[in-house]
Amino acid sequence: MSYASHLRCRECGRHYPLEPLHVCEFCFGPLEVAYDYQALGRHLTRARIEQGPLTVWRYADLLPADSEQAVDIGAGFTPLLPCHNLGEELGLRRLYVKNDCANPTWSFKDRVVTVATTKAREFGFDTLACASTGNLANSVAAHAARGGMQALVFIPADLEQGKVVGAAIYGPTLVAVDGSYDEVNRLCSELADKYPWAFVNINIRPYYAEGSKTLAYEVVEQLGWRAPDHCIVPLASGSLFTKIWKGIKEMAWLGLVDWTHTRMSGAQPQGCSPIVGAWEHQSFDIRPVRPNTIAKSLAIGNPADGYYALKVLEHSGGFGVAVTDEEVVQGMKLLAEAEGIFAETAGGVVVAGLRRLAGQGSIGRDELVVAFITGAGLKTQEAVLDKLTPPLRIAPHVSSFEEAIAHRREAVAAGAEVRPSRSKQR
C-alpha cells in the first residue's frame, strides 16, 4: 500500500494533491512526492519488506503508485556483487557493484518507468511518452506494450543502434529528432502542454523519479540492513543521484537502518559535465553545455536536477569527477575483464571516476563503496568495437589453431597490442 500523501514544491514548500502536476504554480519550482512518514514508521518493518516480491514493488509502501495494479515486467532486485578483483586494482578493500544491467530492458530506467507507467494508467492516460537519451526509450516502449498503452518515444537521431533496435522491437511510434537531447526535451515539453499524453520524465516526473529510490533500498537490504560509506553514481539530469540519497535517508528516518554518514559522489563524461563543472567551481550555478561524448545516455547539457545534485554533493561531502572518453572505454574494459560485467558507456564513466577518486585518496581504502552500474554494454557496442582483440581466424584443423595461437603469443610477447587493423594485415 502506498503511503504517498501529497506533492510538495521543492522551493517554496507548497502542497499539491497527487495529480499529474510537476511544477509549482507560484514559484515554478519542481514538485516532489511526500509521504506520511509517521504512519510508515508504525507499519513498515524489515520483515514486511522481506516478504515482498523480488522486484521494485517490494518497496511499494515507499512508492507513489498502487502496486496491485502495477505494470510490472520485473524491474529491480538486481545483484549487488562484492568485487575483489576490481577492488584490488583500484585499492579498495570493500567494493561492491550494483549491477543494474540485469533489468528487463538492461538499464536502471525500468525502475522509474514501472512506477511512472503504473501511475499514468491510474490517472487514466492511454498514451505513454518520453524524451529519451536512449535507455528510457527502451523501457517506455516495453512497459507501454505490457500495460496495453500507446507509446510515443522521442530520441535524438544520432543514437546508438542497440538503443534504437531495443526500443523499436516493442512497436512504439519512435520519433528520431534532428537535434541534441536538450532539444528533444524542449520539444517534448511543448508537446506535453498541447496533448493529453503521459510524458514519464516531464508531466509525471515527480512519480517517475521516485522509482530510483529503490536502488538505495535494495543496496541497504542486500548489505544486511546497512548503508554504504560511499556511493558513486553516474549523473545525467541528476535525478537518480538525488533519489539514491533520498532513499538512504528514508531508510534511516524509518529506523530500518542505523544512520551512517553516506558520501555521494557523482561522475560525468568530460564532454558533458555541467554538474561536475559547477561543483569544481564551488558554484550552484549550472552553465548548460553542448554535449560531445560517447556516453550518450549521460549527454544532458542542461540538467533538470543539477542544482539538487549539487546540494547532495555538498551535504553528503561527496566528490564530482569528470573523465575523458578514452577513460570511459578503459573503464568499460576494466570492469569486464576484472569482474565479468559488460556495462555500457555510463558504467565506464563510473569505473573511471572511481579509479580517479581512489587514486587521489578521496575514497579511503577501507570504506564500504558501492558503484552503481546503470546500463548494459551490448547497447553501446560502437564504443568498444574497434578497441577489442579480434578473434583468431583459423581453418578447421588442429595445425591451423596451433599456428595461430603461437603467432598470437609471439605478438603478445613482443609487446604488440593486438588490434583489428593489425589482424587484417595478416
* Contact set with Zn ion (CB under 5 A): 9, 11-12, 14, 24, 26-27, 29
Q: Where are the alpha helices (DSSP H) in 55-160?
A: 84-90, 109-123, 135-147
In angstroms, the CA 197 to CA 216 distance is 30
State which residue, 8 or 213, has the beta carbon closest to ligand PLP. Answer: 213
- Residue 265 touching ligand PLP (CB under 6 A): no
239 belongs to the binding site for ligand PLP (CB under 6 A): yes
| Cβ atoms of residues 250 and 278 within 8 Å | no
* Shortest CB 385 distance to Zn ion, Å: 47
Cell of 310: 549539487
How far apart (Å, rounded) are the C-alpha atoms in residues 339 and 106? 18
With respect to Zn ion, which residue has the nearer C-beta, 133 or 203? 203
The stretch near ligand PLP (CB under 6 A) out of 39-47, 83-91, 118-126, 239-247 is 239-247
DSSP assigned state of 59: G
Which part of the chain contacts ligand PLP (CB under 6 A), choosing from 26-34, 152-160, 221-229, 235-243?
235-243
| Closest CB 391 distance from ligand PLP, rounded Å | 28
What is the contact mask toward ligand PLP in residues 364 to 403, using x (rule: CB under 6 A)? ----------xx----------------------------
* β-pair partners for 369: 95, 230
Nearest to 59 by CA among 18, 135, 13, 111: 111
Alpha-carbon span 238 to 91, nearest angstrom = 27
Long-range contacts of 326-332 (CB under 8 A, 24+ apart): 327/352, 327/355, 328/269, 328/293, 328/294, 328/295, 328/352, 328/383, 329/294, 329/383, 329/384, 329/387, 331/355, 332/377, 332/383, 332/384
Report the nearest approach of ligand PLP to the CB of residue 5 (Å): 24
Choose the binding region for ligand PLP from 75-83, 186-194, 220-228, 236-244 (rule: CB under 6 A). Answer: 236-244
> Among 130, 240, 272, 310, which residue sits at the site for ligand PLP (rule: CB under 6 A)?
240
Question: Cβ of residue 255: shortest distance to Zn ion, in angstroms?
Answer: 31
CB 13 within 8 A of CB 30: no
Instruction: Please identify, using beta-carbon distances, which residue of 135 and 302 lies nearer to ligand PLP.
Output: 135
φ, ψ of residue 370 in degrees (nearest 5): -120, 125
Binding residue for ligand PLP, selected from 238, 274, 318, 353, defined by CB under 6 A: 238
Q: How far apart are CA 350 and CA 373, in angstroms?
A: 7
When asked if residue 164 is in the footprint of ligand PLP (CB under 6 A), the reply is no
Residues 94-113 that bind ligand PLP (CB under 6 A): 107, 109
64 binds ligand PLP per the rule CB under 6 A = no
Binding site for ligand PLP (CB under 6 A): 107, 109, 135, 234-241, 297, 344, 346, 374-375
